[in-house]
Structure 1
């Protein structure tokens, strides 16, 4: 069985690079500390620390364990937090990780109503790109995820959440004659986009490649609001969800236009890992997201 105390001491040895320092800081005899590290190495059957006259450093195997140890202690911390909730009147907790599109518009209102209906359930929320959401659900770091429909998610359970329409936003000095625009009409413009890892950025790049074009990205930013502000300032055009565009065009000098392409309508999904049953709290949140109005 893995000894968490020894694992913690091992992590501190790498952090400090010194057995002697860890011995003093953790109030453990140097011989006892060395014994724990040796037992840890015996447990895994590999050398974990490189010992020199200047101190200690991780071997390749030790570096791998060091990275995994951080995940282990994070899960232990979360477990402690979840269990402590029960002593404060909570009856469960659920963690959800959502794409930027969902967390910017749809999700907050539904989570607010869920908290009102279930004040005894603690909800932890994280924002990430769709690829990161998928990886987090696969690794069991979060129970529920909200993603843009994509390929290669057959190993996850997916359920429909809502439809999302992408639109083009422009500054007021850019005008098109039609309320709906073909994608080929805009590839000549500079673009203001979010990080290249976002689903929208990947979609635009692949769509441009299919027609032999490339997306000229002038500015990359971290939020839809900043996309809108940079577009308003004349740095290029942007592509964002329609509901978010409607929200920001009320307060900014912007136009928005529909995109006359099939891919402009996206399906947003709720997902979870099929290899582990959902907690009761997660089941309640899942039903709320599916059936309560947003």
Structure 2
């Protein structure tokens, strides 16, 4: 697995890293044994960097990572997030120093570590100046609790404001072949300020794979159940593009998921995608995506199959987008 530099931190992380939201059951039931098998597969593939949050399963994802590291006597590089108030109305955030400190310390305890490599503010508290929040994160860094600082789902303008206070190491926003919003300034801004851009959901929440999903069978707890892109007629319209992408991948001996991740990697050397899975088998389908290099003809064909704006439906429902900073 190739590596890439994490912002200004001096740390090198695996070019493809693992998102651990699925460990908490966002897309279906899972258990600790399955999570451990997935983490074993990640290590085998050369993945060194994990992404989690105190919100995922109300700490369950972090707890399982901590248990794995203790059981296997192995230490991953870890990014986690805080700032969303669990149990409050959706979109409620608290970015005050006391709240973030409490949540960070609880995350460290669950993970069984004295520091994490990267800590993100999961969602902005819009009434609190981002400059103040950045100062809080820099304080945590000075105290040795974190090695690098970041923000999730923020705008390019907010990022530039934060960068005036101190070095921002990473920004995590949704980005994939069907969610292209970060191309409207965020990826470029990250490059300008020396931050790593971390695309989450680079597999389009599972649609950019070799197996058809069954939205009619999604559990009520599945995030996609009420997501516009997985509701008809949008889902069928989107699958027409996905099936063409599958044909493209198959003709070249690649998995569709590997193509989707390679596509994100090749949008810039400062991108570190974090595909998520709870399955070791699924992980191995895309673990070698950093080895794929597209030709000019490949890029032209990908542009034809999935042109800008091809996805039918919003990336979030009105309820799901609450708390996300919009900039277009």
Q: Fold conserved (TM > 0.5)?
A: no
Choose between structure 1 and 2: higher strand proportion: 1
| Largest Rg, 1 or 2 | 1
With the length of structure 2 as denominator, give the TM-score of the two structures: 0.26
With the length of structure 1 as denominator, give the TM-score of the two structures: 0.28
